[in-house]
Structure 1
Amino acid sequence: MSLQEIQKRASALSEHRDRLSALFLTLQSNLDTVKNGSLADIKRVARQVAKEHNELVDHIKAHPELFEKPRTYVVDGIKFGMLLSNGSLQWDDDEKVCDRIRRLVDAGEITAEQADLLIKTTEKPVASALAQLDAKVLKRLGVSVEGAGDQPLIKSVDSTIEKAVTSVINAAIKEANAELS
């Protein structure tokens, strides 16, 4: 294969990327139109749903005697009532809890076997440290180096698609964070 043939392939790739870029930009424009058209309504209704939900929770909490038997009811597809919950475990600092477990083992209140079940220990090779080793040592460890040496490079000089993708991702993240606030 000659350099001219490879240049033709690169030119063909460029044409396809340009078409893809145009399609993506059209899609982005359409998404913005749809999103901007209905997003305000979606947010408004979502706030109403959250308000109704919270008010229903408050009413149920205020009158638990209404949910002794039966404990739940269904009205218009909404199941509501009381449910026995086991709760969830919470702590602020993993390291502090592990230290306390070890102290209880030392005090004889928890067995070493229980501590092994309570504390998760994870061993994992450190890639950055392994990268410092000689190739012979790496081979003896069963570690291979992938992608070293000359590799084909194909990169768009005009990064319209990459910018559009980044723009969509950043907009989605911004919306998600705003909705959580």
Structure 2
Amino acid sequence: MQLSDIEARAARLAKTRAKLAEVVGDLDADIAKARRRRMPIIKKLVAEAEAERSAIQLLVEDNKHLFVRPRTVVMHGIKIGLAKGKGKIEIPDAAQVIKLIRKQLPEQADLLIKTTEEPVKGAIAGLTVAELKKIGVTVIEAGDQVVIKPTDGEVEKLVDALLKSAAETGETAPAGEAA
């Protein structure tokens, strides 16, 4: 086995990936064209749906007596009626709220205040091996690993995702095609 044998296979891989990128590019162009063609009707229907939803909301608000029992009904696949609101908690000044919890509700402070401490992996990754050992951190899978990675752009990300998906689902090239 020579490096030239691997280079030949790399050339085949690059050629296949280029063909795949071209087909994916064509697909993207077709999708964009279809999106542009359909967008006016989509926008029109979204506006109509919102107008109908708003009209129903006003009718329900003006006729709450119709939704006592049951509080909701399903009409033509759409649930309509009244439901208890969930409300929303607003904390404008977290530091002040924490201070007041500690003062007013000290016995519940552990439940009401979240304290989080965790190592920062990005910073730890910059430490030397000796420093990592000192703090009990080990590096896993740091040995040589095979790298087969294209050096080109965005279309390649989609190509990689398609290839990964095919590998995960066990799909293979159709019969008669070389891998």
Both proteins in one fold, TM over 0.5: yes
Instruction: Tell me, yes or no, if the aligned pair for 1:71 and 1:81 is still in contact at 8 Å.
Output: yes
Matched, 1:90 2:90: yes
In the alignment, which of 111, 122, 129 is matched to residue 123 of structure 2? 129
TM-score (norm 1): 0.72
Judging changes above 3 Å, is the alpha-carbon distance between structure 1 residues 164 and 69 closer, same or farther for their aligned structure 2 residues? Answer: closer
Residue number in structure 1 paired with 2:25: 25
Asked if structure 1 preserves the Cα contact closer than 8 Å seen for 2:91 and 2:97, the reply is no
Letter paired with 2:130: K
The runs of at least 4 aligned residues of structure 1 exceeding 6 Å deviation read 148-151
Give unmatched runs, 5+ long, in structure 1: 166-181
Conservation of the 8 A alpha-carbon contact between 1:25 and 1:164: no
Q: Percent same amino acid at aligned positions?
A: 28
Residue 142 of structure 1 corresponds to 137
Q: How many Å separate the matches in 1 of 2:97 and 2:37?
A: 55
Q: Which runs of 5+ in 2 are unaligned?
A: 160-179
- The Cα of 1:129 is off from its aligned counterpart by 3.1
Structure 2 length-normalised TM:
0.73
Computed over aligned residues only, the root mean square deviation of the Cα atoms, in angstroms, reads 2.8
- Structure 1 counterpart of 2:162: none
Between the two proteins, the alignment pairs up a number of residues equal to 158
Q: 1:70 to 1:128 in 2, by over 3 A?
A: closer
Give the match for residue 174 of structure 2: none
- State the distance in 2 between where 1:133 and 1:9 align: 38
User: Cα distance 1:35–1:90, how it changes in 2: closer, same or farther (>3 A)?
Assistant: same
The answer to whether the 8 Å contact 1:101/1:110 transfers is no
Where do 1:163-174 residues align within 5 Å?
none
Rounded to whole Å, the distance in 2 between the matches of 1:147 and 1:46 is 52
Does structure 1 residue 110 correspond to structure 2 residue 115? no
Q: Which residue does 1:99 correspond to in 2?
A: 96
Deviations 1:104-153 (A, max 9, x none): 322xx3134x2211122222212343234331220241231765889746
* Deviates further, 133-142 or 35-44: 133-142
